[in-house]
């Protein structure tokens, strides 16, 4: 039977379409592949390494599969009896077990290295900024303990400054994700998780909740706006001058299930983030609360020009003396 082939022009078009499909993942609309900070870049390098290592296995296997299926296919006029002779090959066993072992070892090494690197600030010589994040149904509350301002559904950060996001939830568990700046981290009631991110160029970046949390889940989006340090300082002054204060009554209303737009607050109740963590289960993990308070003292004044250190014991956001069983004494909780 005569084989039919595609015309040359059609083959060229098919090849062009396949090429376009493969390279389209590099466009800016694919946020994970468009890093805008050191954390996202390191994670992209890990993705690229994983892809290369996987292809080392996949390409030869698929090529061998196609060759063997074609080379040893059965034919209608084949009269040979099926009498296979089974045998083993120690050399082949070493190859097809040794290669995956090496690949897993290499991938495990670099994954572990990157994982531990990302638990530290992207830059050690720049004073970081702390932003406390509380996921609510169906909105995000951002608190700036060093500036004593708060926002809903948007966060503004200075370019080139490491940002320590402290994450919790006063609603069902969610996941905080800014794809162009780094990977996601869970927000869980009664726990304070940490995530280091940094933007190294101005821009507005998309953020979202990555865990399904009910009918308003599709609206749990927020924006991260990266600006210069001067613009950030001016923004803080503007919020303090033109925005209302967030009261406890206002917070109780805010945390009710609802979909809202962006909001700004010139202040918020002292220790709100810590009180939320404590009330939702943090009281059973005093070491975590003490550790969180200690980190707060190191990062609360990140945006201050003089870089003055915060006195944690006097900082409203870092004060745990009003929490039962949370008397600070040499970094240990009472009764520990």
Handedness of CA 11, 13, 14, 19 (dihedral sign): positive
Element (H, E) at 174: strand 174-177
pLDDT (tens digit per residue) in 214-269: 888 888 999 999 999 999 999 999 999 999 999 999 999 999 999 999 999 999 99
Domain definitions of the chain by residue range: 27-71+89-119, 129-301
Give the pLDDT of residue 76. Answer: 83
Give residue-wise pLDDT tens across range 71-109.
888 888 888 787 878 788 888 889 889 988 999 999 999
Calpha distance 310→293 (Å, rounded): 11
User: Residue 67's pLDDT is what?
Assistant: 95
Q: In what order do the strands lie in the sheet with 263-265?
A: 193-197, 163-169, 129-136, 139-144, 149-152, 263-265
Name the superfamily (CATH) of residues 129-301.
Cupredoxins -  blue copper proteins (2.60.40.420)
Predicted TM-score of the model (pTM): 0.74
Packing angle of the helix pair 38-71, 90-117 (nearest 10 deg): 160
Could you say which residues of the chain have pLDDT below 70? 1-29, 284, 286-336
Question: How far is residue 254 from each of residues 128, 177, 271, measured CA to CA in Å?
Answer: 28, 21, 17
For residues 320 and 327, give the distance between their C-alpha atoms in angstroms, rounded to a whole number.
7
């Amino acid at each position: 039977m005569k084989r039919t082939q595609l015309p040359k022009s059609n083959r060229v078009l098919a090849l062009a379409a396949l090429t376009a499909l493969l390279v389209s993942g590099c466009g800016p609309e694919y946020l994970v592949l468009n890093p805008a900070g050191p954390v996202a870049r390191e994670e992209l390098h890990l993705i690229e390494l994983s892809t290369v290592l996987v292809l080392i296995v996949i390409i030869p296997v698929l090529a061998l599969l196609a060759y063997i299926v074609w080379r040893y296919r059965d034919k209608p006029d084949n009269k040979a009896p099926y009498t296979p002779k089974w045998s083993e090959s120690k050399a082949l066993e070493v190859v097809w077990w040794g290669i995956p072992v090496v690949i897993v070892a290499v991938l495990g090494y670099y994954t572990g290295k990157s994982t531990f690197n990302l638990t530290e600030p992207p830059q050690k010589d720049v004073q970081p900024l702390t932003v406390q994040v509380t996921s609510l149904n169906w909105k995000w509350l951002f608190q700036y303990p060093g500036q004593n301002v708060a926002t809903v559904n948007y966060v503004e950060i200075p370019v080139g400054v490491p940002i320590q996001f402290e994450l919790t939830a006063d609603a069902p568990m969610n996941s905080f994700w800014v794809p162009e700046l780094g990977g996601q981290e869970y927000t869980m009631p009664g726990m304070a998780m940490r995530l280091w991110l940094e933007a190294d160029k101005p821009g507005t970046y998309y953020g979202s909740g990555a865990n399904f949390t009910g009918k308003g889940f599709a609206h749990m989006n927020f924006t991260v706006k990266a600006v210069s340090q001067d613009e950030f300082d001016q923004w803080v002054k503007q919020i303090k001058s033109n925005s209302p204060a967030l009261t406890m009554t206002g917070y109780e209303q805010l945390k009710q299930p609802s979909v809202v737009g962006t909001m700004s607050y010139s202040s918020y109740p002292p220790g709100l983030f810590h009180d939320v963590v404590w009330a939702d289960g943090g009281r059973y993990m005093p070491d975590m609360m003490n550790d969180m308070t200690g980190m707060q003292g190191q990062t609360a004044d990140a945006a201050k020009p003089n870089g003055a250190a915060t006195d944690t014991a006097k900082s409203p956001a870092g004060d745990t003396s009003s929490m039962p069983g949370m008397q600070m004494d040499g970094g240990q909780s009472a009764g520990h």
